[in-house]
Structure 1
């Protein structure tokens, strides 16, 4: 006896193939060895820290006089703090973050307000591209934080 293949057989084979494919995908994802645990063991403590960071950003946005960032083509990037910032009431740090290369990041652990209210990141340290300047400072026991995108040409 000769078997005759009809369009009904094609539909049944297509549906069966689809069901097998979907079942395979569901079981592969369900029983994969990937862990979906929390990123950190100290999740709740980190959340409290993150809330403090949000508060610092909001405090910085409410300032009447904020630090100013100037791009000086021949000298570098100049960060100028308001006049009431000095070494007696203010401490801080900054990070010039480069997303595509950790080697191009610039970190300054402490800001020196003895010589004035300006900090210059020299042109010799900078490479053409996109940066994010992250400023962190504490003035009169209040913490502040700003993030400023910078394109160095």
Structure 2
């Protein structure tokens, strides 16, 4: 084989490699953290205020993850009126789950969650103010 044919063969193999990489990359799913990213950034000061109010509470909320029983025990400070618990999956937004909370300590099952990294995002209202608490855990 002479030099001319070798150079052409190298270019053809390289073009096939680049074409296959483009085909594979176009088929990949890319999840943003949030679909409404820009609107969330504008309203983020409210989130900062909620976290700051939570940090100044005398009774902190308690989220305890029991991996053996596959449940999450939570206890909110007294006086809260309504709340919600969101299981947030950073790697796949389709797996997020939100649960409405009722008064007192609660046990929330985590057995339906996929294996991997999760964030338990707890938000509630008390005395006309909103609060927010977050804890991470890994589902086995």
Q: Same fold (TM over 0.5)?
A: yes
Normalized against structure 2, the TM-score is what? 0.64
Q: 1:58 and 2:49 equivalent?
A: no
2: distance between equivalents of 1:100 and 1:75?
Answer: 20
* Residue matched to 2:3: none
Unaligned runs of 5+ in 1: 1-38
The count of corresponding residues between Structure 1 and Structure 2 is 103
Higher-Rg member (1/2): 1
Q: Secondary structure, in 3 states, of the residue corresponding to 1:124?
A: coil
Asked if the contact 1:76/1:126 (under 8 Å) is kept, the reply is no
Q: Deviations over 1:75-99 (max 9, x none)?
A: 41111223x23xxx51111211011
2: distance between equivalents of 1:106 and 1:120?
Answer: 15
Q: Over aligned residue pairs, what C-alpha RMSD do you find?
A: 2.1
* Residue matched to 1:106: 97
2: distance between equivalents of 1:100 and 1:53?
Answer: 22
Distance verdict in 2 for CA 1:103–1:63, change over 3 Å = same
How far apart are 1:112 and its partner, in Å? 1.2
- Runs of 4+ aligned residues of structure 1 deviating over 4 Å after TM superposition are none
Unaligned runs of 5+ in 2: 1-36
2: distance between equivalents of 1:51 and 1:123?
Answer: 31
More strand by share: 2
Asked if the contact 1:96/1:134 (under 8 Å) is kept, the reply is yes
* Residue matched to 1:74: 69
1: distance between equivalents of 2:70 and 2:105?
Answer: 13
How far apart are 1:56 and its partner, in Å? 0.6
Normalized against structure 1, the TM-score is what? 0.59
Q: Secondary structure, in 3 states, of the residue corresponding to 2:49?
A: helix
